């Protein structure tokens, strides 16, 4: 299973290599360039397809919704980390963990230093492994309501931290298209990463993970 997620990460990074050769021949950096509408839509649907592909292996190995969720968390985290590993191998990028990257597009562009998604991915891998371990040894074990609330709240805060800077500077998904909003995109350079908000999201999510890991019942 791990080999599948690592191979998916290579496929994802290969697509980025081609895209950057077309739009960033001198190397990726902000501000972003506009792309043809058809290519932006292709990219959006590629992201959706990637999420479905990350869900698919779990659906084949278990009928448990909880274990499917756990495998998705584990797979997403492993895929995302190796995405950057492969980009480093293929392009020598990112220069370091503090390098800014465009992470996702829906519902707003997500941006942040590379260490941010990598830290989230480590948390997802841990959550997946802990949940798989607990649910495998105790078939009727479930994540409690309070634990779900902590995990969901942490995720919302983390996502907010990744979308906050683009939102404050008026960058939307529409800006990616070659329209009248493109000037906003052409002038956008990430100015500030709300690391306190990000760390708050990490703390909330980690609290949920620790409760899952230490709860005996």
| Continuous segment of H or E residues that includes residue 103 | strand 100-104
- Residue 12 backbone phi and psi in degrees, to 5: -60, -45
Q: pTM of the full predicted structure? A: 0.90
Between 71 and 136, whose confidence is greater? 71
Among residues 63, 53, 69, 55, the alpha carbon closest in space to that of 11 is found at: 53
**Residue 163 — pLDDT band, cuts 50, 70, 90?**
very high
Tell me the per-residue pLDDT of 5-56, one tens digit each, with 9 for 90 and over: 999 999 999 999 998 888 888 888 888 777 777 777 888 888 888 888 888 8
Name 104's bridge partners.
110
Angle at 157 between CA 204 and CA 44, to 5 degrees: 130
Q: Assess contact for 34 and 186: CB atoms under 8 A.
A: yes
Sign of the CA dihedral 192, 198, 200, 201? positive
């Amino acid at each position: 299973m791990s080999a599948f997620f690592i191979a998916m990460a290579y496929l994802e990074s290969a697509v980025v290599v081609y895209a950057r050769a077309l739009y960033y021949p001198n190397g990726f950096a902000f501000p972003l360039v506009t792309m043809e509408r058809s290519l932006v839509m292709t990219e959006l649907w590629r992201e959706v397809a990637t999420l479905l592909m990350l869900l698919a292996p779990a659906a084949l190995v278990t009928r448990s919704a909880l274990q499917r969720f756990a495998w998705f968390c584990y797979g997403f985290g492993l895929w995302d980390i190796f995405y950057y590993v492969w980009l480093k191998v293929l392009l020598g990028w990112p220069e370091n963990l503090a390098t800014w990257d465009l992470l996702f597009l829906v519902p707003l562009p997500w941006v942040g230093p590379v260490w941010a998604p990598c830290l989230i991915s480590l948390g997802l891998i841990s959550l997946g492994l802990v949940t798989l371990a607990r649910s495998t040894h105790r078939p009727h074990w479930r994540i409690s309501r309070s634990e779900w609330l902590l995990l969901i709240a942490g995720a919302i805060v983390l996502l907010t931290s990744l979308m906050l800077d683009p939102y404050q500077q008026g960058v939307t998904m529409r800006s990616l298209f070659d329209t009248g909003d493109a000037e906003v995109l052409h002038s956008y350079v990430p100015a500030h990463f709300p690391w306190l908000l990000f760390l708050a999201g990490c703390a909330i999510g980690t609290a949920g993970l620790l409760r899952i890991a230490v709860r005996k019942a």
